[in-house]
Homo-oligomer: A and B are copies of this chain.
Amino acid sequence: MLDATSSYNPMDRRIPVDDRTGQRIVPETARRGDRVSGTRYGNRPTMKDVAARAGVGLKTVSRVVNGEPGVTPDTERRVQEAIEALGFRRNDSARVLRKGRTASIGLVLEDLADPFYGPLSRAVEEVARAHGALLINGSSAEDPEREQELVLALCARRVDGLVVIPAGGDHRYLEPELRAGVATVFVDRPAGRIDADVVLSDSFGGARDGVAHLIAHGHRRIGFIGDMPRIHTAAERLRGYRAAMEDAGIPVERSWMSLGVTDPQRVRRAAEEMLSGPAPVTAIFAGNNRVTVTVVRVLAEHDRPVALVGFDDFELADLLKPGVTVVAQDAAALGRTAAERLFRQLDGTLVTPERIELPTRLITRGSGELPPAD
């Protein structure tokens, strides 16, 4: 774990006590009375300070800061000078308290470092920016509790809206928030036990098409490696795999499927098992990005050519030998669509929650077109 034993504990619930004496430490605010030339010592100038310096009223400063009409150019100049001189910056917390809106939206995703979420996050940010809002984001690390913790922290900060890539399966804890008017859109996976907007990729259709592609190239023994079925996308992709196999009248063997496998070592083992034995698979369908990459590594060490189709595109997939055929989903489009719906909720254009599925696209690059090496 990370070290967090510092004295910076903004949300600390304990009363600070001096280690040696056991005395209560004098809280910061008690020391703040001292004034140095009009501004609180060690603190930021307020509109009041600006007003005093410019020799005008408080509200006049407010008007200048917000570009409201009704201030003579001369007064405005004096105020501007005072602002400049003091380095005044409006306190948006106070503003929010008064106005009710924060002009910020929250994004909760699984892991910012995952290349799939980078573009998604960026797309959400761009839409937010176009609406004058800032983006606060957090990674749930695929942990439902951490997701809830994050979401509630964002709500406590009164974000105007939430874009959530759910880790958990039960989002009833959001009900009071929805009632309070927090716009909410779920992305990539549907919300659990709650009626809300959802924007998804067509995981089922994409996986079915990808597997059908392998079947069309003559494969019958096709492996599937994917995440835990409790994750909606993983379950849907598995369903797509099964559907394609069933459509082709191929009974699926137990040993061809590896579920809930996600870390490289286990993926590696799973792939190696499928590829050994008396009747090894001749093709593999990889349920996501990370799995695909690991499988590529395994296949690179493998002598017999094995076909591969992966769900989700990745950089350089075209440069590998052979290029990796993938079912591509558009992460940026997911983010953009979700954010746009969010802001339409906020301006009242949107009322009824909907479920939107974005199509996927099969990109053939070679690995998915290899014939079975029986």
**Contact call A126/B2, Cβ cutoff below 8 A:** yes
Q: Is residue A193 within 8 Å, beta carbon to beta carbon, of the partner chain?
A: no
Contact A158:B91 (CB < 8 A) given known A43-B180, A133-B10? yes
Residues of B within 8 Å of A158, CB to CB, are: 91-93
Interface stretch of the complex, out of A136-144, A211-219, A264-272: A136-144
Nearest B-chain residue to A178, judged by Cβ? B87
**Contact call B135/A138, Cβ cutoff below 8 A:** yes
Please, how many angstroms separate the alpha-carbon atoms of A117 and B7 in the complex?
29
Please, how many angstroms separate the alpha-carbon atoms of A183 and B199 in the complex?
38
How many whole Å from A175's CB to the nearest CB in chain B?
7
Within 8 A of B (CB), among A34-85: 42-44, 66-68
Contact A122:B139 (CB < 8 A) given known A13-B66, A344-B6? yes
Q: Is residue A94 within 8 Å, beta carbon to beta carbon, of the partner chain?
A: yes
Q: Is residue A312 within 8 Å, beta carbon to beta carbon, of the partner chain?
A: no
**Contact call A132/B9, Cβ cutoff below 8 A:** yes
Q: Size class of A's contact patch?
A: 35 or more
**Contact call A10/B92, Cβ cutoff below 8 A:** no
Contact partner of A11 (CB less than 8 A), chosen from B9, B10, B126, B132, is: B132
Q: Is residue A169 within 8 Å, beta carbon to beta carbon, of the partner chain?
A: no
**Contact call A315/B152, Cβ cutoff below 8 A:** no
Instruction: Point out which of A7, A100, A175, A300 has the most chain B C-beta atoms below 10 A from its C-beta.
Output: A100
Q: Is residue A154 within 8 Å, beta carbon to beta carbon, of the partner chain?
A: yes
Contact A134:B136 (CB < 8 A) given known A118-B113, A344-B6? yes
**Contact call A2/B130, Cβ cutoff below 8 A:** yes
Q: Is residue A156 within 8 Å, beta carbon to beta carbon, of the partner chain?
A: yes
Within 8 A of B (CB), among A84-124: 86-94, 96-97, 99-104, 111-115, 117-119, 121-122
**Contact call B135/A136, Cβ cutoff below 8 A:** yes
Nearest B-chain residue to A127, judged by Cβ? B2
**Contact call A136/B139, Cβ cutoff below 8 A:** no
Residues of B within 8 Å of A2, CB to CB, are: 126-127, 129-130
Residues of B within 8 Å of A103, CB to CB, are: 10-11
Q: Is residue A179 within 8 Å, beta carbon to beta carbon, of the partner chain?
A: yes
Q: Is residue A248 within 8 Å, beta carbon to beta carbon, of the partner chain?
A: no
**Contact call B344/A315, Cβ cutoff below 8 A:** no
Interface stretch of the complex, out of A17-25, A276-284, A345-353, A364-372: A345-353
**Contact call A8/B347, Cβ cutoff below 8 A:** yes
Please, how many angstroms separate the alpha-carbon atoms of A114 and B92 in the complex?
30
Encoded as 1 (CB less than 8 Å from any B CB) or 0, chain A from 312 to 354 comes to 0011100111000000000010000000100110111100000
**Contact call B99/A97, Cβ cutoff below 8 A:** no
Nearest B-chain residue to A84, judged by Cβ? B176
How many whole Å from A232's CB to the nearest CB in chain B?
23
Residues of B within 8 Å of A125, CB to CB, are: 112, 138-139
**Contact call A132/B93, Cβ cutoff below 8 A:** no
Residues of B within 8 Å of A225, CB to CB, are: none
Q: Is residue A297 within 8 Å, beta carbon to beta carbon, of the partner chain?
A: yes
Q: List 13 A-B contacts (CB under 8 A).
A: A1-B130, A6-B131, A10-B103, A43-B180, A86-B176, A87-B176, A93-B96, A104-B136, A122-B139, A134-B150, A135-B137, A135-B138, A300-B319
Given contacts A7-B348, A29-B100, could you give 5 more A-B pairs where the C-beta distance is less than 8 Å?
A6-B343, A9-B132, A134-B136, A297-B319, A319-B320
In the A-B complex, the 6 residue pairs with the closest CB atoms: A87-B176, A10-B103, A2-B130, A6-B347, A113-B122, A4-B130
